């Protein structure tokens, strides 16, 4: 009998379990496992490609940030911020901001000289020398960075962004600094200042070296104090001409927060 004519023959063949045939199982295993391994390899390649793309985006963002803002460059010995009057301050205001920066440098140098003068006052046998030296060291450590952060950097950002809150932060803290400068010019014993009174006393007692350093410190306090007072008036006039107000400063504070006004963002 011809199997092709038997309808049950084809049905029987379809009902067979292909896994009953060892050759069929072998063929199936050789076909399925390579496909699975290839899928794993493709998945691994896709993951690595995503990681490379993410890394490229990160590098591109860093390059764009450097292109727009530059690298941190200040202070030179340990860069923490970007500071470039030429690149960030509008040209009409660059001269004024340069002068303010120079006055801040004079302040920093004066604090150092003042400390040295207080050391010499202590060596000269002053009964208040210990208090003077301790206070002068504290001034150097605290006033140097604090003055930069509370009045120089805000006015730098003020002229860079022309926003009201920067100017009012400057007015408040530079006002305190002017009072502090006057206090240091006087040179009351035991206050940590080698100003006028202390300097005159050193000359009167024949301690010339201490007197010379006291003179240098006093001149430094006068120069940076008078300079800041002069530019304070000029900046106040600029602030008024630009239409800045306390209300505008409050609005900016509510919108951006205080932290933004000590940064470049």
> How remote is the C-alpha of 238 from its chain's centroid?
26
The pTM assigned to this predicted structure is 0.73
Which parts of the chain fold into alpha helices (H)?
A: 7-14, 22-69, 85-88, 91-123, 129-147, 153-161, 164-186, 196-204, 208-241, 246-256
* Contacts of 38 by beta carbon, 8 Å cutoff, 6+ apart: none
pLDDT attached to residue 12: 47
Q: Encode pLDDT of 167-224 as tens digits.
A: 999 999 999 999 999 999 999 999 999 999 999 999 999 999 999 999 999 999 999 9
Is the pLDDT score of 82 beyond 50?
A: yes
Residues 247, 249, 250, 252: is their CA dihedral positive or negative? positive
């Amino acid at each position: 009998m011809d199997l092709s004519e038997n309808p049950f023959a084809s049905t029987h063949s379809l009902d067979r379990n292909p896994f009953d045939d060892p050759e069929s199982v072998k063929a199936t295993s050789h076909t399925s496992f390579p496909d699975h391994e290839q899928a794993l390899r493709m998945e691994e390649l896709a993951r690595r490609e995503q990681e490379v793309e993410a890394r490229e985006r990160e590098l591109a963002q860093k390059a764009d940030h450097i292109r727009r803002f530059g690298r941190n460059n200040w202070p030179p010995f340990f860069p923490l911020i970007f500071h470039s009057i030429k690149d960030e301050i509008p040209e009409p205001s660059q001269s004024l901001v340069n002068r303010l920066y120079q006055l801040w440098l004079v302040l920093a140098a004066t604090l150092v000289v003042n400390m040295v003068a207080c050391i010499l006052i202590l060596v000269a046998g002053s009964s208040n020398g210990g208090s003077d030296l301790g206070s002068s060291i504290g001034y150097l450590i605290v006033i140097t960075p604090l003055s930069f952060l509370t009045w120089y950097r805000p006015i730098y950002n003020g002229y860079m962004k022309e926003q009201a809150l920067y100017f009012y932060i400057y007015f408040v803290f530079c006002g305190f600094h002017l009072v502090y400068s006057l206090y240091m010019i006087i040179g009351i014993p035991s206050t940590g200042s080698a100003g006028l009174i202390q300097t005159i006393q050193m000359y009167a007692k024949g301690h010339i070296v201490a007197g010379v350093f006291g003179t240098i410190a006093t001149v430094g306090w006068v120069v940076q104090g008078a300079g800041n007072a002069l530019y304070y008036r000029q900046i106040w006039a600029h602030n008024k001409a630009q239409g800045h107000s306390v209300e505008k400063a409050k609005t900016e504070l509510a919108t951006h927060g205080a932290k933004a006004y000590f940064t470049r963002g």
